Structure 1
Amino acid sequence: MINSVTIAGYIGKEPEMNIYGEAVKVTFSIAVNTVIKGEEKTSWIPVECWGNQASFVGNYLHSGSYVIVQGKLEQSVWETDEGEKKSRLFVYANHIESPKQGNREQGTGNGVKGGKKGK
């Protein structure tokens, strides 16, 4: 089965970083705009990343940064204290790049890369 997602858009609120022992997790949402019957609609796509990807986002990207995210669709399922079942879908990122940054930097599963300064 194939579970592959690529989305591009702008980061909404400032990414949130959480540290669990030595593991780093960053969550953020991307605004993806589409036009349906002449009307623009914004969808907010939640993204989660760990390790090197999380370090890249935490160090280089902020609210308003343009990003391209590749990853897979994941579902989180839990039960509230009242016994109500909840779930949410999000993109688990395994590759994030920000081509509109002054430094064409990108994070990959193998580490954080930096490129030469470009336009």
Structure 2
Amino acid sequence: MASFNRVMLMGNLTRDIELRYLPSGMAVAEFSIAVNEKRKASDGQWVEDVSFFEITLFGRTAEVASEYLSKGSPIFVEGRLKQDTWEKDGQKRSKVKVIGERMQMIGGRGESGGGGGGGGGRPAASRPNSGGAPAESQRSNYVNSNTPSSHDSQPTGDGPGYDEPDIPF
């Protein structure tokens, strides 16, 4: 049976990042984020729910996150879920956390979180727009990727929707 394990979250850091190094020299960053969701309650009032997620980043992505992000910083993380299990005082315990494979800092340098590069393990030269928020052209390409571009929607022949232009000569 096939399986799929992918998660994408955008939220704010609830604490400063804890950066440590494994004996192999690999950087490990651990932090948590709060993800807010607004919904309409049965009485018609808007209610805000908050969910908290533990995130772990590795390698250069961990170092970049630790350098540029702090408590309150907005971040987008893409990764996979991992369940940790351990035993404490004779009781089995478990916790599900997110292993971040890519991250994007949200906001500019003047906002909380400092902005800066994206991380995600790709060199800065190969990252589209290594600044904070996506450039307007990148944002529209991403958000509107399923809609036809303006030149695709222009009528080109005698079919429906084609209006022959009034030529003054």
Maintained 8 Å contact 2:108/2:131: no
Higher RCO structure, 1 or 2 (CA under 8 Å, sep 6+): 1
Question: Sequence identity, in percent?
Answer: 25
- Change in Cα spacing, 1:39 to 1:105, as seen in structure 2 (3 Å) is same
Q: Quote the offset at 1:109 in angstroms.
A: 2.5
| Structure 1 residue ranges without an equivalent (≥5) | none
**Which runs of at least 4 in structure 1 moved beyond 6 Å after TM superposition?**
none
Q: Which moved more, 1:30-39 or 1:67-76?
A: 30-39
Q: Which moved more, 1:63-72 or 1:106-115?
A: 106-115
Maintained 8 Å contact 1:30/1:46: yes
2:61 pairs with 1:59: no
Give me the TM-score of the superposition, normalised by structure 1. Answer: 0.87
State the secondary structure of the residue aligned to 2:108: coil
1:17 corresponds, among 2, 9, 19, to 19
- Change in Cα spacing, 1:64 to 1:39, as seen in structure 2 (3 Å) is same
Q: Which moved more, 1:103-112 or 1:60-69?
A: 103-112
Q: Quote the offset at 1:99 in angstroms.
A: 2.6
2:7 corresponds, among 5, 8, 20, to 5
Aligned to 2:159: none
Distance 1:58 1:117 in 2: 15
Give me the TM-score of the superposition, normalised by structure 2. Answer: 0.63
| Structure 2 residue ranges without an equivalent (≥5) | 110-114, 136-169
Q: What are the residue-to-residue correspondences of 1:70-85 with 2, within 5 Å?
A: 70-80=78-88, 82-85=89-92
2:54 pairs with 1:46: yes
Distance 2:33 2:78 in 1: 12
- Change in Cα spacing, 1:64 to 1:23, as seen in structure 2 (3 Å) is same
Structure of higher CA gyration radius: 2
State the secondary structure of the residue aligned to 1:14: coil
2:108 corresponds, among 101, 105, 108, to 101
The answer to which structure has the higher helix fraction is 2
Count of paired positions = 118
Amino acid at match of 2:6: S
Q: Quote the offset at 1:104 in angstroms.
A: 4.3
- Change in Cα spacing, 1:117 to 1:47, as seen in structure 2 (3 Å) is closer
Distance 1:33 1:110 in 2: 28
